[in-house]
Amino acid sequence: MANSFSWIGIDESGKGDFFGYLIIAGVIVDSEKIEILKEINVRDSKKISDNRVIYLSKVIKQNFKTSVVSISPKKFNELYKKFKNINKILAWGHSRVIKNLLNTENVDRIVIDKFTTKKYIEDFLTEEEKNVEKIEIIKGERDIGVAAASIVARAGFLLSLKKLNEIWQFEFPKGASDIVDKAGIEFVKKYGIENLTNVSKINFKNFKKIEDDLSKLSINF
């Protein structure tokens, strides 16, 4: 029987959404248990319905070691002011997931959905952690480990958005479209501009557009 091969798949969700958390997830997959992921048809979370994503995430967490780093909008904005670079925030989150999982088990490889150079991630790692082979691939969800991580991350994002809806008694839309701008204006009218930074990401163009639109409406904030 061939030796088992294990790797960490990592992916994130919420990066393209103005409202809500940025969620980064990692899953340790090994060659002996990979059939579990195939049986439940694990693939890119963007191709799966929201309810199915939440269900599959539970199954993955029950069968595999996972780590999830949840970055609230407030924390994201603090990190953005510090790093002034979304890729460095992603690298910071990825490195935390890597550290968490390597503390539980040694793996042969780390597979990452390509978003920047590996150097950004390795800036946050110890020398020992840097020695683990890392592969960045475009459309990383082609790797079943990254696809599993994308499902866990997406489920985390969906649940965090639902939590924000409940806390603020407000329906936050996904994405970054004109619908999001309109929702942002309504949120500020209800709760004030100071609270917009508690539910959204300030690096998005939507933030400035909402401010400009409110100014045109002569709304003080």
Q: Which DSSP helix (H) or strand (E) runs through 25?
A: strand 22-30
Summarised one tens digit per residue, pLDDT across range 40-87 is 999 989 889 999 999 999 999 999 999 999 999 999 999 999 999 999
Summarised one tens digit per residue, pLDDT across range 171-219 is 999 999 999 999 999 999 999 989 999 999 999 999 999 998 888 766 5
- Asked if 105 contacts 99 with a C-beta cutoff of 8 angstroms, the reply is no
Fold adopted by 6-165 = Nucleotidyltransferase; domain 5 (3.30.420)
How much is the average pLDDT of 156-162? 97
With cut-offs at 50, 70 and 90, classify the pLDDT of residue 138. Answer: confident
3-state secondary structure of 144: helix
Percentage of residues in the chain having pLDDT higher than 70: 94
Q: Which DSSP helix (H) or strand (E) runs through 125?
A: none
Q: Which position has the higher pLDDT, 187 or 138?
A: 187
CA distances for 170 relative to 155, 180, 191, 208, angstroms = 20, 12, 10, 21
Instruction: Please tell me the predicted confidence (pLDDT) of residue 1.
Output: 39
Summarised one tens digit per residue, pLDDT across range 95-118 is 999 999 999 999 999 999 877 667
With cut-offs at 50, 70 and 90, classify the pLDDT of residue 220. Answer: low
Strand partners of residue 129: none
64 token code pair:
């595999």
Summarised one tens digit per residue, pLDDT across range 13-51 is 999 999 999 999 999 999 889 999 999 999 989 889 999
The Cβ of residue 122 has, within 10 Å, a number of other Cβ atoms equal to 16
Summarised one tens digit per residue, pLDDT across range 84-99 is 999 999 999 999 999 9
Spans of all domains in the chain: 6-165, 170-216
